[in-house]
Amino acid sequence: MRHPDFLLGVATAAYQIEGAVAEDGRLPSIWDTFSATPGKVLHGDTGAVACDHYHRWEEDVDLLASLNVDAYRLSIAWPRVMDAAGRPNEKGLAFYRQLLQKLKDHGIRTSVTLYHWDLPQHLEDAGGWRNRATAQRFAEYADLVSRELAGLVDFWSTLNEPWCSAMLGYGTGHHAPGQADLLAANEAMHHLLLGHGLALAAMRRNDPGSQKGIVVNVGRGTTDGATPADVRAAQLFELQHNDWVLDPLLRGEYPAVLHDELWPAARPPVLEGDLAIIGAPLDFLGINYYFRTNVRADGQGGYVEVPLAGVERTQMGWEVYPDGLRDLLIGFQRRYANLPPIYITENGMASDDRVVDGAVIDRQRIAYLNRHLAAVDEALKAGVDVRGYYVWSLLDNFEWAYGYERRFGIVHVDYATQRRTPKRSAELIRDFLARRRAGG
């Protein structure tokens, strides 16, 4: 962790902070539609205003600079930069160009994700990620943006958490577009990964000086059961949560067990040449980690979640389990001979934070971050090539189906006034990075 090139940064995503959903030519996204649908998002919240970052971006970059962070991870809103015919929207592109330039002026490394879940609604109307053509549309979007913003981005990520886009968006209906069909989830996953591979090729042509990769969310599966079937259940959990994404990216194949045992009626629509495109070499792999899941055998060859009692949990109900991050990183190192350098692109927790006498003392978050950084350090000492860590998130924001109730930020946002108040965690990060820069 003391390596001088190890990046410490913070992260956000466009729909969660920008607001301004109908300004300067931005088109509707699936999350505009989903959050406006009664019953889909807690309290009926939407991203229409969010943190108003679209209008307050200069203030927010100054805030970032004041925290001394090495790097900032953000996403581009696809509906903001292209019209329905695929033509560039200059006002939207100008917003990101100015934002990235100001970050560069402050010496902050830029990490840009092209797809953080806000698919243009017109593409969903044509079938969304179930439609193979969406992968090509994504490649065209990546081609445009990487040409327009070449030289301003240090790290390009094609997708954020394709597991969530596919499974939560198309498999369970918990996220936009709200479909609940396991076959649809497998179709969506394949076309997301195909889009990733097609986009990589375009980005390498347009911006050769940058690093290119993808961001995946991973989950640690364990069991407190005592039977071989319970042990197998934990393996199956990780197979569908991790290997479903990482095997095609790093091995050029989908896990056979997944479709032979767990999902025999739901297979990806693979055409000749697809897996070679998906498995194109990566410059880095982004890993998002938050919690573990305890499972047992369900008696039908699968698994069922069985929450553990007496463990520490966050406001999301997620167990605090730093060892899971260490164990997964070491496991990936053993499983994948071609594992690229890793950045922890998201790690953090939600808590019910309140401003009291002008301050937010978020003790649980401070302990959470310290313990997860220690887990990363253990993975480094075990030989895993981890090169950076981004806290999720810079700002309290729109937490998808949970709306504004769950606060992940190291900076508190009063949504009525848009006042930003750095929490104690932010102050400690600021002070630590100041000492590191001073050589202390």
Secondary structure class of 12 (helix, strand, coil): coil
> Under a CB-based contact definition with an 8 Å cutoff, are residues 124 and 114 in contact?
no
- Binned at pLDDT 50, 70 and 90, residue 437 comes out as confident
Neighbours of 136 (CB within 10 A): 15
- pLDDT tens figures, 60-89: 999 999 999 999 999 999 999 999 999 999
Active site residue 346: yes
Residue 1 is predicted with a pLDDT of 46
Please state, in angstroms and rounded to a whole number, the distance separating the CA atoms of residues 393 and 403. Answer: 15
Q: Which two tokens stand for residue 20?
A: 């301004």
The enclosing H or E element of 53 equals: helix 53-66
Q: Which tokens hold the place of 322?
A: 């730093």
Annotated domain spans of the chain: 7-437
Q: Which pLDDT value is given to residue 2?
A: 47
DSSP designation for 353: -
Residues counted in the chain: 440
| pLDDT confidence tier of residue 147, bands split at 50, 70 and 90 | very high
Q: Which of 161, 238, 346, 399 is catalytic?
A: 346
Enter the pTM of the model: 0.98
Give per-residue pLDDT as tens, 198-254: 999 999 999 999 999 999 999 999 999 999 999 999 999 999 999 999 999 999 999
DSSP letters, 227-285, are SHHHHHHHHHHHIIIIIHHHHHHHTSS--HHIIIII-TT------TTHHHHHT---SEE
Cα angle 162, 164, 165 (rounded to 5 degrees) comes to 60
Mean pLDDT calculated for residue range 347-365: 98
CATH number for the segment(s) 7-437? 3.20.20.80
